[in-house]
Structure 1
């Protein structure tokens, strides 16, 4: 393949060098960063390289959603979006194979006034996806747990689709030595077939003229350029060229002329990666989708909520089980249509629940971008913040009632201050287990 050098490839894998990178959350900037920044990822505005890999588990602002630990090469999605979608407001985007959430949180930032449907077919991975998107804090994500085929009825619905397809994983050989032992030519062929099925099942949901961002962490032509050719021949897609600077990225052309972008670790500061971008030429069938009626909070519940906190304009409120959730008003109808056919894991932002005369604020509210300045706050230093994240005792005195826990200016969650104790409301399933 173009750009491949066996000697250089083997040397960089034998070197033991590990590249660590993070993507900053522009909506959550802490007072100070303790990360060892060493430079910017050139193809992503918010991407940063680190000179060494710290223990992210023991960095409170990581838990606050100030940044996402993401492999640098995969951040190329940001550059591809910038090159192809210059007016992202109001767009609907599907991230089909989304866990653990790197590309979904990137898309939620880029499409800050759009809607991101973040899907994961595996239930356990969908739980991780829900946690990571909640920490990111934007209220424009709907997390679903569905097979790609379940999106077929949404004909001509999405403006863009991101498909980081399951693959044979050869691009991760340097980062994950186990990937070497699990790799086989047979697995490459199986992955190629699976990738075609995923694309064929989901592409009917993409609008005419809509954009597809297809990627893998594989070097294999069968999973990359051959899939690009199949998309052109069988799925009525046209290749879109992405301008790249002198970054070390290799541009390839498939038999059908599709542009592909290969990332080799001996040529740039990142792991193995491939991306190709397409525009849908033909229109699919689009019919009126059913809407599922949502349970809405009653007037008394909304009044209790308004007495508890200022409710910003432009949001619609609905109930899921006992919880009250909020989503930007413009996406309420879309949520109803999605809920009629898909399993919704989380949508928008959970505000809290009402127990008698009391409002119990949700953890998602603490991590959200809602204005929370009227709540009293306990500002903790790192060690006390880590004790809070472990759900252990820590030293602090606060105003009676609900208090936000903050570290470096960013909320971590809630406590309730009582006359003789402080109740820790950090989610038990998220707590730090290491000492």
Structure 2
């Protein structure tokens, strides 16, 4: 890899140890690794249908990156305690005894061995579990900042620079809509916001809004509103050099200075929106001190009431992933407590979509919305149709009665569930967009969702190992495929 000489000169100054400098240079010739973040909310539902998390971890040889112990936490606050960071140099004994450790802890983030998975015929990303939203593919280093934000199930969270959505989905999985927790996931660039929205749809959270706003506009509307804020700021991208030739080509000293100015502009708006006692996390995927430690020092000067909880640098050679820097701050004042509330949902129409969302998202309804909770209906050529997003909702049982009460004029209702195993060839056929055959014994009525329906033909949700893939029209032993064309596998 040809790296800019100026970049190498600047980096050399960061390493006092000659051996570490050589390790850093050598790391550019190594292949990047990827990780996955498990959607524990979908996992809980899949377990009810017989999905075994322990078998999946064993079959895929998943290596935990972080572990969390709940026994030592303050139960009334719902806080999570970070007891072990095992991203660097995963011990062999931990891998050998991981099943015992995972019984005592909740682990979401894993390192994957893609060469091993390939030998088993598995490609992450082209996989039914991925399509069902069971996991999100993410750089292992990028997954480290969110666990240090001490997110509680009831927190009001903001991800200010959110696309493509890895850290947003990581935050959302730590929130509980029944306890009032929610996430506003913002992206300033419209096309990137669209990608963010698609990722949110697959993961299925009803307490997440995706918006396309400027940080300044949000700050004007929501001063002192959020208890947890992440600013994963636009940066010069040096930590992505191994993965992106474009990042190398775009790099310049001028870009570094431009990014540092932009980072301060965004952070000023974040300061305005953070509640007393709240936590702010700042992160980049660059190595530049100008965009990292210098910004951290500036944050401390601008906010004497902020206390630095921690900061960390991750290089290629000392982590499981790519380059990352983050610093976490706590604002003085009393920590916002959990509020007594009863979960309710709101339904509203925007253009050709109808959404159902946890009511705590209502303050964001007038923003430039790409997504507000779950998309439940969309306008078809002749009538309203179930949206693909509805099939992926983690709270489907909770919201479906509301969905049916507000059902627009449409010919068919959701009547059935169809459960197939991952090894069944029809799962891939469905993801390719094909019609598939169905046996009577494989069909289950969904009386727990809709009572008293006995029609022979109707809409069915297709599940793979208890994980929802999407809708189809079931009639006379055939399932007509409703899987969105833009998501279908290509041969």
Q: TM-score higher than 0.5 here?
A: yes
Correspondence for 1:364 among 374, 381, 389:
389
Whether the 8 Å contact between 1:323 and 1:353 is mirrored in structure 2 is yes
Aligned pair 1:39/2:63, yes or no? yes
Correspondence for 1:129 among 196, 200, 218:
196
Task: Give the corresponding residue for 2:481.
Answer: 424
TM-score, structure 1 as length reference? 0.79
Correspondence for 1:320 among 343, 350, 359:
350
Task: Give the corresponding residue for 2:315.
Answer: 264
Task: Give the corresponding residue for 2:375.
Answer: 350
For 1:386 and 1:100, the matched residues in 2 are separated by 26
Q: CA RMSD in A?
A: 2.9
Aligned pair 1:415/2:472, yes or no? yes
Whether the 8 Å contact between 2:365 and 2:372 is mirrored in structure 1 is no
Q: Matched residue of 2:144: which SS?
A: helix
Q: Matched residue of 1:376: which SS?
A: strand
Whether the 8 Å contact between 2:149 and 2:279 is mirrored in structure 1 is no
Task: Give the corresponding residue for 2:172.
Answer: 108
Aligned pair 1:99/2:163, yes or no? yes
Correspondence for 1:18 among 32, 39, 42:
32
For 1:313 and 1:266, the matched residues in 2 are separated by 46
Task: Give the corresponding residue for 1:386.
Answer: 428
Whether the 8 Å contact between 1:326 and 1:348 is mirrored in structure 2 is yes
TM-score, structure 2 as length reference? 0.70
For 2:25 and 2:294, the matched residues in 1 are separated by 25
Whether the 8 Å contact between 1:164 and 1:214 is mirrored in structure 2 is yes
Whether the 8 Å contact between 2:165 and 2:200 is mirrored in structure 1 is yes
Whether the 8 Å contact between 1:78 and 1:110 is mirrored in structure 2 is no
Task: Give the corresponding residue for 1:6.
Answer: 21
Q: Deviations over 1:82-135 (max 9, x none)?
A: 3xx4xx233211101111111111111112231100011111111111111111
Q: Deviations over 1:299-355 (max 9, x none)?
A: xxxxxxxxxxxxx973233333454432224x1xx52x3233x21111111233699
Task: Give the corresponding residue for 1:172.
Answer: 240
Task: Give the corresponding residue for 1:151.
Answer: 218
Structure 1, gaps ≥5 residues long: 243-259, 284-311
For 1:118 and 1:131, the matched residues in 2 are separated by 12
Task: Give the corresponding residue for 2:129.
Answer: 61
For 1:315 and 1:76, the matched residues in 2 are separated by 32
Structure 2, gaps ≥5 residues long: 1-13, 67-84, 87-106, 335-341, 401-413, 444-455
Aligned pair 1:72/2:140, yes or no? yes
How far off its partner does 1:206 sit? Answer: 1.8
Q: Matched residue of 1:75: which SS?
A: coil
Whether the 8 Å contact between 1:58 and 1:386 is mirrored in structure 2 is no
Q: Matched residue of 2:133: which SS?
A: coil
